[in-house]
Structure 1
C-alpha cells in the first residue's frame, strides 16, 4: 500500500495537530515531558537497561519521533547504559523530511540527535527500514505502514512497550484487541508497558492479552496514565511470526569462521565485526572480491512488480540498505568505487512499457526511487536515442564489487583475521567449534560459528547438500570508452551496460547454468553485443566480438531467484506443514548464498539479517521475507526449475 505522508497544522499553543485524525501529536503540556514521565519512567527506565548487552523498545506510533529522541538522549546520558539500544516502531503516515526538520527545531536540546536522524530519514516507502545511529550503538527499526500489519510481521522480543498514537476515540484500530495480542506475542519475558491512555477498553484489552496493568499519576493536565507488565505469553495468530522468530538468546561466544571473501562473506564479516565479533575469514584467492564478485562494475537497483511481490520488496529493501551501507563506508574514508547516478530499465516493447507504467502508478513510490519515463526522456537521460521508455531509478547506479569487499574488511581491521590463499577442502565439527581444513587435513581456522559464503563452492560441502544451489556462468564484455561518452547512466534491457569507468564500460551478462568453461568466448561476447544493440540501436557498429576483453564469473543461483540466508538445514525428509523454525539445522552452521546476478543488491542486507539473527536482535526484514530467504524452504516444497530474469 502506498505511504501517504503526514499532514499537520499547529494549534494556538504550538502543538502539532492532525486534521485527518482530529487529535494532537503529543500532550499540549509538552511532548518531551510526556516522553520522560509516561514512556521512560513508566517502563522503569533508565534503571532497567543498566548493565545489559542490549535493550529493546517497541512503539506503536512513531509520530514526530519525540519518544525515540528522548529515549536516545537518556540512554546516552546514562554511564551505566546497555551496550546497544534497539528502538522498533510503526508509522502509517510518516512526516516528510522538511516537516520533520521544522518540528524538531522546537527542541534544541535534541539538535544533534535530530540532525543525525534526519540525515538517515527514509522516504515514504512501505516496509521495514533499518537505520543505524550513534556509531551503530543505536538501531532504529522503522516499519512504514499500518501497525496491525507491521506488528504481525516484525520479528522482535521487546523489553519495553510504548503504546502511543492518536487517542482510542480518534484511531481505534491502533488500540484494538489484535494490536494488544500482537504486542504480547512480541514482548520478552518480564516486559513492561506504558501509555497515557487509561480508557476502560484499553485496560481490559491489555488484560485479556496477558498484561497486568495499573493506573499511575499522569503527566501535565492528564490525571492518570497506565503502566503494566507481561504476566503470560499469548500466541499471535499470524503464521509469519512463528515461521521466522529470532533465537531466544544470542550466540554465547561472538567468534565466527567465514568461508569466502566475496561480496557475501565480507558483508557478513563487517556486520558482525561492528557488533564486536571476532572473524576468521578464509578464501582461496589472494585477496577479497576475486571470484564472482570481481567484475569491473555491477548494478545496484530494485526490481519492482505490479503486485509488489517478494522479489520486488526484497530488492527494494536491499537497494535502500545497500546504498546506505556504501555511503556510510565512504563517509568513514573508505575508497569505494560507486556512483548512484541513475539506472534506466527500458521496456522490450510497447506492451511491456505499458505494464511498467502501470507498476509505477500502482506502487506510488518516491520519484527518486522509481518513476516512468517515455522514450524521449529516456534518450535524453542516457544520451542515446532509444525506441521505448521504462523505469528510471534516479538514486540507483553502479558499484565496483572488489572495492566494496575491500572496504568491508578495512572498516574493522583489528577484528577480522584474513586467511587468504587457503582453499577449504573440508569443514568438520570438533567439540564446540567448526574447523576448516585444507586438502592435506591441516586446520586453517576454527570458531564456534561457521558461515558458508563461498559462492558456487557451497556445492563442495556435503553438510549443505540440502540446499539446491546451481552454478551460473556469466561472461561480461568490456568495451573501451571515453569519459562522459554515452550512455551516461546504467541502462538495462535483457542485459545491462554501464557508463565509462576508468576507460571501460561493462556490457552483459550471459547466464549459462552448469557451464564450467572458464575462458572467454567470442560467441558470448556476441550475445552481449546483440543485447546492447537491441537496447541502443546503432551502438555496436564496428565492434568486433573477437577483439573484446571481458571476464567470466560463476554465480551461485537458486531455483526461485531469491537468496539463501540463515541456518543450514540437515538433509532429510521433512513432513509437510512443518514450520521453518522446526526444521532440523546443523548447530552453529549458517549460509549466505544464492545471490545470482544480484550480489550487490542482497549482500549488505543479507549480512545484517544474519548478524541480527546470531545476536537475537530485531530483524531488518518482515518475517514473511525472512521465511522467503530461509535456506530450509526447499525442504518444504517441490523443487522448481531454474528461472532467469530480465
Structure 2
C-alpha cells in the first residue's frame, strides 16, 4: 500500500507516520534549489564532467529530483549522464506524487513522466530512465541502512533529506551518516536543511568539514559540507575494476545481448562497432518471430524472480521509448497457467499492493478462454515483443555501426600504432584484422564459446511452431504461458501471427526442424489451451504451419554472465552472454550493469543481485584464486 499523506489547508503535505511536513512553506523547488543544489555547488560543479552522481537519503515526492532534473535540462554544459540515487522506505501514491507537483508548472511535466514509471515499487532497487536514458533515477525502496549497504558507487553530491531528526532519528543516526560517508570521495559535497548538533558532529566524525549557511525562510540556517578527512581513506571490499572513459568498443554479436550493450555504451558516448557473423542482425536465438515478456514468480521471491522483475522494468522502458505499441510490441499482460496448488505468492503481497502479479480473476480467465476453475496468475507487466524490431531500434542509435558477415576468430592485444599504449584487435579465421578498439564485449550467444572456451556455456535448442491466424479465429488476445506458451494477434505484413512452443533440448546445436518437436508442441498447446489447439488443428493437418529453431546460450546455473573474460583482461575484454530463454527480460539489465561497472556508476541492482550475474563466478579455479589474491 502507498504511504498515506495528509494535506493541510495551505497545500503543504504532512506525514501522519512521522507527524512532520514534507517540505518548508517556502515551497519544495525553492528548498531544493537553495539548500541542496546550491549547497552542493550545482549546477556549476558538474561543468566539464561526463557524468554526475547524486545520492539522496529521502525521496518523498521526488521534488528534489525533479528540480535537479530541470536544472540539468536547462544547463548548456550539463554532463552527458545524470545519476540520481534516492532511498525511500515509504513511497507515496502516484496521485499524491502528481498533487505535490501540481503547484509548480515548471516541474509538472517532469512529474508526469515520473508518475508514468511510478509502479511496482516493491522493496529493492528500481531503475527509472528519462530523456533517452541520459537521466537515470535509481529508487532504493527500504530501510535506509539496508539500502545503503546494497548500493556501491562514489557520489559527487549528497543530499541529506527526510523528516526531522526528532521525528525520524534512524535517518540521521551516526550509523546512517557513517554509511553515507562511504559513498563520498575527496571533494564530495553534502547539503541538508538541518543544523542539528548530532548531525553536524556525526558528519565531522566521518570526514566531512561542515559549515552553517544562510537558510531558506522560515529556517534561518542550513548545512553544507565537503568530504576532506584528515586520514587516509581505506575502503573495504574487493578492489574495483578499472574505470573506463568513452572511446571505441567492439561488440561481438548483433542479437539481443549485443544490441543492448551497444545501445547502453552509445548513450554514454562510445563509438561502437557491432560485428555479426551472420548475414544480418537478429538471426540466431534472437530471431524468434515473436517473444513473450513475463516475470518469474515464486512464493519465496527467489533470486530469479527479483532479477526478472528488474529486467522487465528495464526492457519495458526501452519498448515504450523506441518501438510502436501494437505493431512492434503490445502491453497485453500475460496469463500464466499453474498446476493445482502451485499458485502461491510471497506472503506479504496483496491484491492492490505494489506487486504486479496476482491470482487471475474470473473475468481474466473468461477473456482468455479458460475455464473458471483454472489455476492461473495474472502478470500485469507482461507483453509480446518482436525481438528483431527492438534489436533494429537499438542498432540504429547514433554512434553504432553494424558489420555483418564478420566472424571473429580471436582477440589480441597489440601496441597501438601511435605508441600511446595497447589496443585490442579482433581477427577472422585467416588472421585479417576486423577492427581494433579500447574494449571488447563478447555477446554472441553460443558463438561466444569460441572466444571464451573456459566458460561452461551450454547450447539449448528450442523449436516453436507458428503461422497466420485463420479468418475469424477467436484465439486469446492475451498471451498465455505455463507448460509452453501461446501468443496470437501479432500483426505482420502477411497477416496476424500466432506462435506456440517452445522445446528445451540441452546440448543440441541442430537447427533443422523436427516433426517430433512439432507434435510435442501441439501436445503442450492442447494442455495449455484446448480450444486454441482445436482451432489450429486444421492448419497443422494441412501443413500450413511453420517451424522455427533457435539455439539459446545458457550458463551452468542458468543466469547470465556479465563481467571480465579473465583477470588479465578486466580492463579490456568482457562477456555479456548466456541469457538463455529470457533474452527479452535480461538484455537491457545486463547491458546497463556492464556499463555501470565500466564507468563506476550506481548499480541498477542491489550488490548481491549484481554479484549473482558476475561472470567471475564462472572463472576457472586458478583465475578465481588470482582474483582473490589481488583483492587482499
TM-score (norm 2): 0.90
Deviation (angstroms), 1:590: 0.9
Please name the residue that 2:303 is paired with: 310
How does 1:95-494 map onto structure 2 within 5 Å? 95-232=92-229, 242=237, 247=241, 249=243, 251-330=244-323, 337-348=328-339, 350-353=340-343, 355=344, 358-359=345-346, 362=349, 366=353, 369-373=356-360, 376-385=362-371, 388-412=374-398, 415-431=399-415, 432-461=422-451, 464-482=452-470, 485-494=474-483
Change (3 A) 1:387 1:336: same
Please name the residue that 2:629 is paired with: none
Distance in 1 (CA, whole Å) between partners of 2:373 and 2:233 is: 58
Please name the residue that 1:578 is paired with: none
Please name the residue that 1:506 is paired with: 499
What SS does structure 2 have at the residue aligned with 1:68? helix
Change (3 A) 1:619 1:494: same
Moved more, 482-491 or 58-67: 482-491
Distance in 1 (CA, whole Å) between partners of 2:607 and 2:355 is: 27
CA offsets, 1:20-73, max 9 Å, x none? 110000112332222222112211222211222222111000112221222222
Please name the residue that 1:580 is paired with: none
Deviation (angstroms), 1:368: 7.9
Q: 8 Å contact 1:59–1:88 — kept in the other structure?
A: yes
Residue of 542, 548, 555 corresponding to 1:558: 555
C-alpha RMSD of matched pairs (Å): 2.5
> How many residues are paired up?
605
Q: 8 Å contact 2:333–2:479 — kept in the other structure?
A: yes
Deviation (angstroms), 1:453: 0.5
> Structure 2 unaligned runs (5+)?
416-421, 623-632
How does 1:1-150 map onto structure 2 within 5 Å? 4-150=1-147
Q: 8 Å contact 2:513–2:549 — kept in the other structure?
A: yes
TM-score (norm 1): 0.88
Distance in 1 (CA, whole Å) between partners of 2:564 and 2:351 is: 36
CA offsets, 1:554-573, max 9 Å, x none? 10011222111122234xxx
Please name the residue that 1:574 is paired with: none
Distance in 2 (CA, whole Å) between partners of 1:61 and 1:378 is: 38
Change (3 A) 1:469 1:369: same
Change (3 A) 1:443 1:72: same
Change (3 A) 1:405 1:79: closer
Distance in 2 (CA, whole Å) between partners of 1:615 and 1:336 is: 35
Deviation (angstroms), 1:310: 1.6
Q: 8 Å contact 2:330–2:384 — kept in the other structure?
A: yes
Deviation (angstroms), 1:389: 1.8
Residue of 477, 481, 486 corresponding to 1:497: 486
Deviation (angstroms), 1:161: 0.7
Q: 8 Å contact 2:461–2:552 — kept in the other structure?
A: yes
Distance in 1 (CA, whole Å) between partners of 2:372 and 2:552 is: 30
Distance in 1 (CA, whole Å) between partners of 2:570 and 2:142 is: 36
Q: 8 Å contact 1:246–1:617 — kept in the other structure?
A: no
Deviation (angstroms), 1:585: 4.4
What SS does structure 1 have at the residue aligned with 2:565? strand
Distance in 2 (CA, whole Å) between partners of 1:444 and 1:219 is: 60
> Structure 1 unaligned runs (5+)?
571-583, 639-646
